[in-house]
Amino acid sequence: MLKIMVFIDGTWLYANMPKLAQLRGDPDFHIDYGLLPKTLADSVAEQMRTSEPDLVRTYLFGSIADNYDPRDEDPVRRRRDFYRMLKEEFHYDVEVFTVNYYGKRLRPDDRDPKDRFEPKEKCVDIALATTALFYAAMPYAYDFAIAVVGDRDFIPVFQAIRRLGKRVAIASIRGCCSGEYIDQENKDRLRDLDMIWLDDLLDRLELRYENQWLECESPYHTGDRKVLTTFRPRKGQRFYCEECRKLYQAQHDSMAYGIGRQKESALSLDSVSTVQDMPAMELRKGVIKTIKRDKGYGFISADDGNDYFFHASTLCEGADWETLKENAPVRFAVKTVPSVEKAGAATNVSLYPEESEHHNGNEL
């Protein structure tokens, strides 16, 4: 069986996503990262005329902004959550390196036009090269490296992998790829197969939202719980039907605990339509402070010293609204960061018994 490892230059792929969308003629085009490794492996197997390749592992190397302007919290959180999704949902091995923005905005357009600052990405290329070469030198780790790249910096590593007797395939995008890789005669001896063009595989790679039947898990759901939806819940995430989410949002918006509620709804479940758009969650611990049993909400007093509002429908992992008690230790995700004038909002509230903390203490 053909053992394959995939090495993705995530920064390059991310930067060239608009190019793929343009080639597809659909500004909303997104790659289905769950399908990407298998599609590439199949493409190699087709060229090699073998069946059922053994996809050993997929690595993605990327970066994340650090020390940036707080106004850019949202995109950074999304990116962090995207990496988490790759790991949790699709079992990618993700290696992420920080880029120091020195307190500046992420987008050049948002910065002072006179500001000549250019963020410097560190380590991403070298990490990809090191990992690919490390496994090439490791007996039986892989037969074939598929590199999803475009920059010419990787030339030496592909040559070294091939000198070790392992094969290389390069997957790239037309118009975003260094000439050395494309060269018909393969003068630099970089690859063992024809180029794999992602732009030829868009049909197979497109993220599609297909309707499926899911059961609404809201305690306030009325009628048949089975609903047809394009929503794809993440692992461990509860599914609430549109009706219940609207109800939740309406109740939430009417809560008199501060201004600026409308803005926050941009991050609500309602607007979450793609896996990439899932709000990233920071986890906190605390205890239940108050429960408004009849109203369906309560407040958590968190270890960070702040209070967090939570709704009954955000309980998960064994936390039951009917039996939930005040002072119960809980763990939750921060949906809205607290500010001076209002409490934060919590979601994914689960019971967090002290004893499990000792068992799991080293897992993070």
* Residues in contact with Zn ion by the rule CB under 5 A: 216, 218, 221, 241, 244
Q: Is the dihedral of CA 352, 357, 363, 364 positive or negative?
A: positive
210: amino acid identity, one letter: E
Question: What is the smallest separation between the CB atom of 251 and Zn ion, expressed in angstroms?
Answer: 14
**Residue number with CB closer to Zn ion (43 or 218):** 218
Question: What is the smallest separation between the CB atom of 247 and Zn ion, expressed in angstroms?
Answer: 8
Question: What is the smallest separation between the CB atom of 223 and Zn ion, expressed in angstroms?
Answer: 8
Question: What is the smallest separation between the CB atom of 227 and Zn ion, expressed in angstroms?
Answer: 7
Question: What is the smallest separation between the CB atom of 216 and Zn ion, expressed in angstroms?
Answer: 3
Helices (H) and strands (E) in the chain, counts: 11, 13
| Degrees to nearest 5, angle at CA 277 with 99 and 29 | 95
Question: What is the smallest separation between the CB atom of 265 and Zn ion, expressed in angstroms?
Answer: 18
**Residue number with CB closer to Zn ion (273 or 360):** 273
| Nearest residue relative to Zn ion (C-beta) | 216
Taking CA atoms, 26 is separated from 18, 214, 248, in Å, by: 10, 28, 33
User: What whole-number distance in Å separates Cα of residue 59 and Cα of residue 7?
Assistant: 5
Burial of residue 179 (CB within 10 Å: 0-12, 13-18, 19+) is: exposed
| Contacts for 309 with CB less than 8 Å, ≥ 6 apart | 255, 257, 297, 298, 299, 343, 344, 345, 346
Question: Running DSSP on this structure, what letter comes out for residue 233?
Answer: P
**Residue number with CB closer to Zn ion (196 or 216):** 216
Question: What is the smallest separation between the CB atom of 242 and Zn ion, expressed in angstroms?
Answer: 8
**Residue number with CB closer to Zn ion (188 or 243):** 243
User: What whole-number distance in Å separates Cα of residue 100 and Cα of residue 68?
Assistant: 7
Q: Which residue, among 158, 150, 199, has the nearest Cα to 178 in the 3D structure? A: 150
**Residue number with CB closer to Zn ion (16 or 218):** 218
DSSP state letters, 253-308: HH--S-S-HHHHGGGSGGG--SGGGSPP-EEEEEEEEEEETTTTEEEEEETTS-EE
**Residue number with CB closer to Zn ion (216 or 291):** 216
**Residue number with CB closer to Zn ion (167 or 238):** 238
83: amino acid identity, one letter: Y
Question: What is the smallest separation between the CB atom of 88 and Zn ion, expressed in angstroms?
Answer: 25
**Residue number with CB closer to Zn ion (54 or 215):** 215
